[in-house]
């Protein structure tokens, strides 16, 4: 059995040989979709040019994935021998050049562009003590490196990174970089042990629950697939990421595809599958490209294919693309889609673990779930389950977006409070506004009001608050957002995405949407509210698949937590957040109006009249509430009520 | 050529023989697509590659025309009705020709709460078309996207392979004119 370990040893040695010597100055530039959108490519070019121009052989430009600090991108980090890594934010060509000539050449930090305070970087000692959950990561090179590199920098220092352990650190297209950080050690441990049952037990002991939203215990799912009498079995990675507002899975696949592949291979071994599929949404071309490259590299090294490490275990991976249908994230619809059919769900049971792809037992797991698997094997289930809550081990990655200062990816232990995520790591709400609610679970979730801000985040607690954990999308709403409008937004989405197979969802969501449209346009009645709630509960009960069953959640949770706002729309014909156009009134304050005529000139329906230098007036009957006058008036004379 | 094909793949009231039909279908596609289809036919579950093939066809032609769908049906030996049934189910597949630049304005949650509607409106005004439409000169198609995965940089607009972040209505004219220069 030592043979298998030896093979890994050899891989490790190869990888170490290719690793840069510590005497080299390393510049890391991100290269995920969001980084590229912020101009990371030009920044990388600038560094390349500088390296050539200055003939700096000892400087190496490294392309890495995304560290998740999206609102500060492009992020550049510079590691000099024997010194702490320095991180820069919002770097453009010019700053890149400055970093090169001043920091790299002369050791002077470009202070105005640093991420965090200069004092962090001016000492080699780490200033932040590990939190209890971070302490569980220490001692494992795989998970500790992130803490060593980023542990003092705000935003990162309160995170516990397991799934995102390599994101932003390694080159996502380099197998040796992955291996040099204990990559494929998990698989090696598994194959060396040669006991699939043991693997499944470890996953159960780890208390790993599905990160795709449902929270089903992963060990149990694998166990069910193992029990099947069928010999042909499949593993599927669900990378459909349909929640519009979530991007954890995209970032993970673009930044560290090997960890997900390793997770897939281990899953395949544990359940006795020889073939796995990545189902990736077509909207993520870069993720598709990186996963394909990674699969090819693994093939070359014999980590995929026939007789892996001489164990007799064969495993192949193939990518299948989605085509823009939210419902295809649902397991049975996803299976139909991989089979080349219309992505319509079917009733369960039978569950995919019994009858899945081509009627064979199929384990479907989310990207993040799979990325955790190698880490569990390396750090051992009993350490993994110390992080998180008593019923749910490990961490969860959230995609923080909306009205929050630090948008980006945040990985925290299960059971962390919303306050810590939104106000701690997220840095609170911009422009001095107040937090109104946090939306989790996307179109299948709900709005969590300020009152639950201290509730620990977990599958069960969020469900009790009327939302769901979901796959990790977390959209922060401030006082300018209208709860009714947000509910309507999600209903437009689910109504459009309903596959049409069953009538409660197809018709019910349409009726609900009609009611919401009436309410937001000022024509709602109290009876509408009663009907809305009744319909919502009906659709929830009677729909065939998860899409329909969860579609009413945004409505039900807002009715529960923001009923006052519904009443204001229906009874007072007022939108307290001043969002629903039909319920807003624009008026000119004659005291403040100086008669500059600017508003009259921009009004598209020419309904503002008045003489130059005299107060103007809006003809309310004709006003289409476009807001143009409000935006243009320099004297704050136009009031929005 | 196209007329032939229309005959080829209709429900059978044409006089062409199957060989001609396949030949005509082959003429429509570039080598890489033909190769891929050939490869698929050797697969254990050849039909399962239908969506992949449709992606490749759309990548090449910009959209799926009745002719190209019929040709896919023929070459993959899948009923034409099923091919169009699958193509019409998925939002990603375009059944109408599109302009040179396809502008996708994201209306996902993060983009929506950060003001994407105003951005869409501005594009619509500037181009004089509604979502789903193409300008007369064939330069622009305006589309809505459901999250492009760059939510932290909302509102986001995708044009070709480029993602524009934190787009505001006043940046729209500039974005349009920079497309025209390409
Ligand atoms: C409408 C709908 C959409 C879904 N979308 C996704 C998705 O985008 N990604 C995902 O991993 N799971 C999604 N799920 C959950 C999956 O059906 C499934 O539970 C999950 O992939 C299982 O993996 P896990 O146990 O690792 O979470 C969706 C479910 C429903 C009902
Ligand atoms: S609940 Fe909606 S999405 Fe699900 S099967 Fe029924 S119609 Fe289709
Ligand atoms: S823009 Fe303002 S100040 Fe000028 S006329 Fe209009 S309301 Fe009066
Ligand atoms: S809101 Fe628009 S339509 Fe109404 S008065 Fe102002 S500019 Fe004119
Ligand atoms: S919501 Fe627009 S990119 Fe995600």
DSSP state of A217: B
Measured between alpha carbons, how far is residue B25 from residues A485, B21, B31, B49, B69 in Å? 49, 6, 12, 18, 10
Q: A189, A5 in Cβ contact below 8 A?
A: no
Q: Taking the CB of residue A557, how many other CB atoms lie within 10 A of it?
A: 26
For an interface test with B, give the residue of A340, A397, A445 to mutate (most B CBs within 10 A): A340
Q: A64, A170 in Cβ contact below 8 A?
A: yes
Domain of residue B85 covers 3-89
B2 touching chain A per CB within 8 A: no
The reply to whether B49 and B73 lie within a common domain is yes
**CA B81 to mean position of chain CA atoms:** 19
Of the candidates A71, A244, A325, which has its C-beta nearest B152's C-beta?
A71
The reply to whether B7 and B85 lie within a common domain is yes
Residue A106 CB burial class (10 angstroms; 0-12, 13-18, ≥19):
exposed
B42 falls within a domain = yes
B39 touching chain A per CB within 8 A: no
Which residue ranges of chain A lie beneath pLDDT 70?
A: 1
Report the residue of chain A nearest B156, measured CA to CA: A37
Domain of residue A58 covers 18-150
Q: Token pair of A209, please?
A: 């629950």
Question: What pLDDT shows up at residue A15?
Answer: 92
- CA A322, CA A425: separation in Å to the nearest integer? 33
Say which CATH number the domain at A619 has.
3.30.70.20
Q: What is the largest CA-CA distance in chain A?
A: 94
- CA B24, CA A516: separation in Å to the nearest integer? 52
Q: 3-state SS of chain B: helix, strand, coil percent to 5?
A: 55, 10, 35
A271 falls within a domain = yes
- CA A278, CA A288: separation in Å to the nearest integer? 9
Q: Which residues share a beta bridge with A476?
A: A402, A438
The reply to whether A635 and A524 lie within a common domain is no
Out of B59, B89, B119, a domain closes at B89
The tens digit of pLDDT for each residue in A366-377 reads: 999 999 999 999
Q: In sequence order, which residues have a C-beta less than 8 Å from that of residue A552 and are 6 or more positions away?
A: A512, A535, A536, A537, A539, A540
The reply to whether A408 and A510 lie within a common domain is no
Report the residue of chain B nearest A32, measured CA to CA: B150
- CB contacts of A343 in chain B (<8 Å) are 89-90
The tens digit of pLDDT for each residue in B11-46 reads: 455 566 777 778 888 889 999 999 999 999 998 999
The reply to whether A517 and A615 lie within a common domain is no
Question: What pLDDT shows up at residue B5?
Answer: 42
Q: In sequence order, which residues have a C-beta less than 8 Å from that of residue A380 and are 6 or more positions away?
A: A202
Residue B154: helix, strand or coil by DSSP?
A: coil
3-state SS, one letter per residue, for A486-502 = HHHHHHHHHHHHCCCCC
The reply to whether A437 and A530 lie within a common domain is no
Expressed in angstroms and rounded, the spacing between residue A276 Cα and the centre of ligand 3 is: 65
B148 Cα to chain A: minimum distance (Å): 6
B144 touching chain A per CB within 8 A: no
B59 falls within a domain = yes
Instruction: Give the DSSP letter string of A363-412.
Output: EEEEHHHHHHHHHHHHH-HHHHTTSB-SSSBSEEEEEEEES-SS-EEEEE
Q: ipTM, 2 decimals?
A: 0.91
Which segments within A65-208 are labelled E, that is strand? Answer: 76-79, 86-88
Report the residue of chain A nearest B115, measured CA to CA: A402
A126 in the Ramachandran plot: left (φ > 0), alpha (ψ -120 to 50) or beta? beta
Helices (H), B44-108: 50-61, 66-76, 80-89
Residue with tokens 């409070």: A417
Q: Taking the CB of residue B89, how many other CB atoms lie within 10 A of it?
A: 22
Say which CATH number the domain at B9 has.
1.10.10
Report the number of distinct structural domains present in chain A. 5
The reply to whether A496 and A471 lie within a common domain is no
B94 falls within a domain = no
Residue A510 Cβ inside 6 Å of ligand 4? The answer reads no
The reply to whether B33 and B110 lie within a common domain is no
- CA A572, CA A336: separation in Å to the nearest integer? 48
Residue A615: helix, strand or coil by DSSP?
A: coil
The tens digit of pLDDT for each residue in B71-102 reads: 999 999 999 999 999 999 999 999 999 999 99
Q: A398, A155 in Cβ contact below 8 A?
A: no
Number of H helices, E strands in chain B: 9, 4
- CA B51, CA A298: separation in Å to the nearest integer? 26
Measured between alpha carbons, how far is residue A605 from residues A503, A585, A635 in Å? 42, 15, 22
The reply to whether A405 and A522 lie within a common domain is no
The reply to whether B62 and B29 lie within a common domain is yes
Report the number of distinct structural domains present in chain B. 2
CA-based angle A229:A230:A234, to the nearest 5?
A: 130
The reply to whether A235 and A349 lie within a common domain is yes
B15 Cα to chain A: minimum distance (Å): 31
**CA A80 to mean position of chain CA atoms:** 32
Q: A208, A363 in Cβ contact below 8 A?
A: no
Q: B159, B101 in Cβ contact below 8 A?
A: yes
Are residues A323 and B149, on separate chains, in Cβ contact within 8 Å? no
- CB contacts of B151 in chain A (<8 Å) are 245-247, 399, 401, 407, 473, 475
Say which CATH number the domain at A492 has.
1.20.1440.230
A578 falls within a domain = no
Say which CATH number the domain at B162 has.
3.40.30.10
Q: Taking the CB of residue A481, how many other CB atoms lie within 10 A of it?
A: 22
| pLDDT surpassing 50 at residue B3 | no
- CA A275, CA A293: separation in Å to the nearest integer? 18
- CA A544, CA A534: separation in Å to the nearest integer? 18
The tens digit of pLDDT for each residue in A246-258 reads: 999 999 999 999 9
Residue with tokens 């996963």: A291
């Amino acid at each position: 059995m030592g043979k298998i370990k030896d093979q890994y040893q050899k891989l490790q040695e190869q990888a170490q040989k290719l690793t840069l010597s510590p005497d080299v100055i390393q510049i890391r530039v991100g290269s995920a979709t969001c980084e590229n959108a912020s101009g990371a490519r030009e920044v990388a070019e600038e560094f390349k040019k500088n390296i050539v121009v200055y003939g700096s052989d000892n400087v190496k430009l490294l392309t890495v994935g995304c560290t998740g600090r999206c609102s500060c991108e492009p992020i550049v980090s510079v590691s000099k021998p024997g010194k702490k890594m320095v991180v820069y934010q919002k770097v453009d060509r010019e700053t890149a050049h400055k970093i090169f000539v001043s920091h790299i050449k002369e050791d002077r930090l470009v202070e105005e562009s640093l991420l965090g305070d200069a004092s962090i970087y001016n000492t080699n000692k780490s200033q932040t003590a590990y939190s209890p959950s971070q302490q569980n990561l220490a001692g494992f090179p795989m998970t500790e490196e992130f803490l060593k590199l980023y542990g003092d920098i705000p935003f990162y220092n309160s995170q516990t990174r397991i799934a995102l352990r390599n994101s932003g650190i390694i080159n996502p297209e380099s197998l040796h970089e992955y291996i040099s950080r204990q990559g494929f050690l998990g698989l090696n441990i598994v194959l060396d042990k040669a006991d699939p049952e043991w693997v499944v037990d470890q996953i159960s002991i780890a208390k790993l629950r599905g990160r795709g939203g449902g929270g089903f215990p992963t060990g149990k799912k694998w166990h069910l697939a193992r029990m099947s009498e069928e010999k042909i079995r499949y593993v599927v990675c669900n990378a459909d990421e349909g929640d519009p507002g979530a991007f954890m899975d995209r970032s993970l696949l673009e930044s560290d595809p090997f960890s997900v592949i390793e997770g897939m291979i281990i899953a395949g071994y544990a359940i006795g599958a020889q073939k796995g599929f990545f189902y990736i949404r077509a909207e993520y071309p870069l993720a598709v490209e990186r996963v394909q490259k990674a699969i090819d590299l693994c093939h070359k090294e014999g980590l995929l294919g026939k007789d892996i490490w001489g164990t007799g275990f064969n495993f192949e991976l193939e990518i299948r693309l989605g085509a823009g249908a939210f419902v295809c994230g649902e397991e049975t619809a996803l299976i139909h889609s991989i089979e080349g059919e219309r992505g319509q769900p079917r009733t369960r049971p039978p569950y995919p673990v019994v009858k899945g792809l081509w009627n064979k037992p199929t384990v479907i797991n989310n990207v993040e779930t799979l990325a955790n698997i190698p880490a569990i094997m390396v750090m051992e289930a009993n350490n993994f389950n110390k992080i998180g809550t008593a019923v749910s081990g490990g961490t969860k990655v959230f995609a923080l977006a909306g009205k929050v200062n630090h948008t980006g990816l945040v990985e925290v232990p299960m059971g962390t409070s919303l306050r810590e995520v939104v106000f701690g790591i997220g840095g609170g709400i911009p422009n001095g506004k107040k937090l109104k609610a946090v939306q989790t679970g996307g179109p299948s979730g709900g709005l969590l009001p300020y009152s639950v801000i201290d509730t620990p985040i977990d599958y069960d607690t969020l469900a009790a608050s009327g939302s769901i954990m979901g796959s990790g999308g977390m959209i922060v709403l401030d006082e300018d957002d209208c709860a009714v409008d947000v509910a309507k937004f999600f209903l437009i989405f689910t109504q459009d995405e309903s596959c049409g197979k069953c009538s409660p969802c197809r018709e019910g969501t349409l009726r609900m949407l009609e009611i919401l449209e009436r309410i937001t346009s000022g024509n709602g009645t109290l009876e509408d509210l009663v009907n809305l709630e009744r319909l919502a509960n009906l659709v929830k009960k009677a729909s065939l698949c998860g899409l329909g069953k969860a579609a009413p959640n945004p409505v039900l949770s807002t009715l529960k937590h923001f009923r006052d706002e519904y009443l204001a729309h229906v009874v007072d014909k007022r939108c307290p957040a001043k969002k629903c156009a039909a319920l807003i009134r624009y008026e000119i304050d004659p005291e403040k109006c100086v008669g500059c005529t600017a508003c009259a000139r921009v009004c598209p329906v020419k309904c503002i009249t008045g003489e130059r230098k005299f107060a103007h007036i809006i003809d309310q009957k004709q006003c289409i509430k476009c807001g143009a006058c409000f935006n243009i008036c320099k004297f704050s004379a136009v009031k929005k009520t | 050529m196209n007329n032939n094909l229309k005959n080829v793949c209709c429900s059978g009231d044409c006089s062409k023989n199957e060989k001609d039909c396949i030949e005509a279908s082959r003429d429509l596609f570039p080598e890489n697509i033909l190769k891929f289809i050939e490869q698929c036919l050797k697969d254990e579950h050849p039909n399962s590659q239908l969506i992949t093939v449709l992606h490749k066809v759309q990548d090449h032609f910009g959209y799926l025309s009745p002719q190209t769908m019929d040709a896919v049906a023929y070459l993959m030996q899948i009923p034409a009705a099923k091919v169009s049934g699958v193509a019409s189910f998925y939002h990603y597949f375009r059944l109408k020709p599109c302009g040179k630049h396809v502008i996708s304005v994201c209306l996902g949650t993060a983009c929506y709460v950060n003001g994407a509607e105003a951005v869409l409106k501005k594009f619509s005004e500037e181009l004089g078309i509604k979502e789903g439409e193409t300008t007369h000169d064939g330069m622009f198609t305006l589309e809505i996207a459901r999250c492009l995965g760059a939510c932290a940089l909302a509102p986001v607009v995708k044009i070709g392979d480029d993602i524009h972040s934190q787009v505001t209505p006043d940046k729209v004219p500039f974005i349009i004119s920079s497309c025209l220069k390409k």
